Amino acid sequence: MKYSFKIGSVWKIPIELHFTFLLLILAVFVLSLPNMNFYPFSIIVFLFIFVFFHELAHSVVAKRYGIQVRKIVLYPIGGVSEIEEISDKPSQEWRMAVAGPLTSLGIGFTLLAASVIIWPDLFSVLLSFPYATGIFLFDLAILNIMLGIFNLVPAFPMDGGRVFRALLAERIKYSDATRYAVTLGRILGVLMVVAGFIFYDYFLLIIVGMFVYIGASEEGEQTIISTKLADVRVKDVIQSDVGFVNPEQNLTDVLEVMFKKRYHDALVEKDGVFEGIVTWDELMKVDAEQRSLMKIKQMPLKKIYVYDYESILEANKIIIKEKINMVPVVKKENPNKVIGVLTSETIVDAYNKARNK
């Protein structure tokens, strides 16, 4: 995702921080300097940790169902777990979605119980609904509870929208269920913006409402497009004009074939049998003056391919995972014979067509 950077990883899941979160922490720190009151800054830092636990819960459930998680990106008002694919089982999707809010609520009520045990007088404070009490555990408890409740709202892009979509998808088409969740998200976003203008003390609702509206629209569009692309088979968009090289050719010859065919990678074939792909990155590791002396058979090859009946989304996963520009296409009955290639450009074209329909 743009404008985010990696800060670590957990269970091989990269954790990234969006630059807006860093700006928020920095802004709160600077505003705390004049009166040396670092209480809000401490709250923000700990809330960041709890948002991480919220998103990690989504990822743990996803991995339990065998779904890969690309990374977790943390934002000031929440986070995003980038999951490799949407589960085709609604029962799995709603369980993944609800895991985050339930984690936030569990943390919130645990901290609340601890606060009340330590300070019994907090019962009276709880009834007054203050913005902040100055009691660290209690304020963190309330923020986590609010985070959990907000994310349970049944509208995109909140987790509750995914739960709502999954429950609807058990009864109606997935794309229709997505549209209903998106519509609710847009309505909620507009209402929050209007409320922010009417009630000046809650002007932050304008920002949050805009985020909700845009987030609902973008996620809905991406989901609907992905649903359409899932029906496009590799054989429908295959390129049959394939440029092969053989293991005895030198790297200079291979580069000429790649430039001629406009591929970033080259397919290696010997006596009509597919042996693998030599990638552009591997070729560039070899010094220019050595390329005419070195043969393809001395290079590392990737023996990867997709079947012609598979979805282009499956092919795209391989392209992304292997960091290649194209993937060979074969028939299941003869995986050693390449019948064509599917390139990343072809997938982009298919995506744009689906988007414009």
Tens digits of residue pLDDT in 5-44: 777 777 777 788 777 777 777 777 777 777 776 777 777 7
- Taking only the tens place, the pLDDT of each residue in 49-89 is 888 888 888 888 887 887 777 777 776 656 666 665 666 67
Q: Is-contact 29 45, C-beta < 8 A?
A: no
According to the per-residue pLDDT averaged within each range, which of 121-135, 206-220, 322-336 is highest?
322-336
Please tell me the least confidently modeled range out of 85-89, 166-170, 178-182.
Answer: 85-89
- Inform me whether the pLDDT recorded for 239 exceeds 60: yes
CB atoms within 10 A of CB 7: 12
Q: What is the mean pLDDT of residues 141-162?
A: 83
Helix or strand holding residue 53 (H, E): helix 39-64
- Taking only the tens place, the pLDDT of each residue in 251-268 is 888 788 777 766 677 788
For residue 100, what are the contacts with CB-CB under 8 A and spacing of at least 6? 54, 55, 57, 58, 81, 151, 159
Phi, then psi, of 350 in degrees rounded to 5: -65, -40
Q: What is the mean pLDDT of residues 116-142?
A: 67
- Inform me whether the pLDDT recorded for 1 exceeds 50: no
CA-based nearest residue to 328, from 281, 280, 266, 272: 266
Name the residue ranges covered by the structural domains of the chain: 4-229, 234-356
| Residues classed as catalytic | 55
CB atoms within 10 A of CB 242: 17
Residue with tokens 């807006």: 20
- Inform me whether the pLDDT recorded for 103 exceeds 60: yes
Q: How far is CA 343 from CA 41, 242, 279, 313, 335, in A?
A: 48, 11, 13, 12, 18
- Inform me whether the pLDDT recorded for 126 exceeds 60: no
What's the pLDDT score for residue 102? 92
pTM for this structure? 0.63
CA-based nearest residue to 226, from 344, 325, 327, 354: 354
- Inform me whether the pLDDT recorded for 250 exceeds 80: yes
- Inform me whether the pLDDT recorded for 240 exceeds 50: yes
What's the pLDDT score for residue 198? 84
- Inform me whether the pLDDT recorded for 106 exceeds 90: yes
Q: What is the mean pLDDT of the chain?
A: 78
Go through the chain and tell me how many residues it has. 357
Q: Residue 158 has what DSSP assignment?
A: S
Q: What percent of the chain has pLDDT over 70?
A: 84
What's the pLDDT score for residue 76? 61
Q: What is the mean pLDDT of residues 98-120?
A: 86
Q: Reduced to 3 states, what is the DSSP secondary structure of residue 156?
A: coil
Q: What percent of the chain has pLDDT over 90?
A: 2
234-356 carries CATH number 2.40.50.140: no
